[in-house]
Structure 1
Amino acid sequence: MKTLLAPTIPQVPTRLGTWATGSRPPVLTDEEFPQPKVQAGAADLRAIREADLHRALARLADTGTTVLVGRYSLVGPRQDPAGRLAEAQAVIHRRRWTTSITTFDTTEGHAQALRPQLARLFAALDAGEIHGIVAVSQADISPFPDTYAHTLTVLRARRGFLALARNETSI
């Protein structure tokens, strides 16, 4: 049997509680507009890192927990990591923390973003084996401010911290 009515297709909701109406986009109600990315300077990054450090140390002191850290360094091809790891150890010794993992990555043969030992430290942080990471400088984590800031955010979300022997403007 033939009909003169066109088949109807039900409209799929674009957002919970709203229905698509014509070709206009749905109206934003209680959502925020996307904010432009603001690049943090070295002083801002240092302030963020130190606030995270103080917050984590206060939490550990309240529970009477010994601070366990992982020592980390990023070195170039055929570069001996001993010097940089010793500089990180000086921070650990001065603060009377305990080192449970000492490791380093090298940039040889792969991109700087691929760091299996740094990933190992993040896994140890998740497992509760360490509470934070001690490195020499920001360059051990990332020379790029956005990537470094993201790493600080990830550490904060995992209730960890990053302590540096040098400030964010040093290499």
Structure 2
Amino acid sequence: MSALKEGHFSGNGDLGGVMKRQTGFTLIELMIVIAIIAILAAVALVAYRDYTVRARVSEGIALTAPFKIAVEENVEAHGELDARACADVPALPAATANVAALSCSGNGVLSVQTTAVAGGLSLEFTPALNSDGILVWACRIEAGSSRHVPSICRSP
């Protein structure tokens, strides 16, 4: 027999002893979900912070392009890679938010120093003539964290 025929159902939601099924989430379930979201957010924040520093470092690397061209033109004009490689290569006109200094010294070696917000790195780009007489550039990190530079600049 149904609960209605026996008089157990009063119409006000009371099933008169019949178990009422639980709906919704318990507090512990909600706390577990919030904890999982917090852990994922913490991991994402660290990854995002590293990503932004890497993007800032890439500005310093990109700024070397015109300086590399000037060194390459000097090497081409003189026929060898020597102290004249930095002749007429300008210094960085003004520091940027991410690059503190960029200079040319020695046999065309370009040095880039990033600001603290860009990881406080010091990178060095060294030119060399390969067996075909083509100028190639090697990048290495002088100071700072290697996780913020491209793989070509990390020491083996």
> Which category describes the TM-score, using the shorter chain as reference length?
under 0.3
- Structure with higher Rg: it is 2
Which has the larger share of helix? 2
Which has the larger share of strand? 2
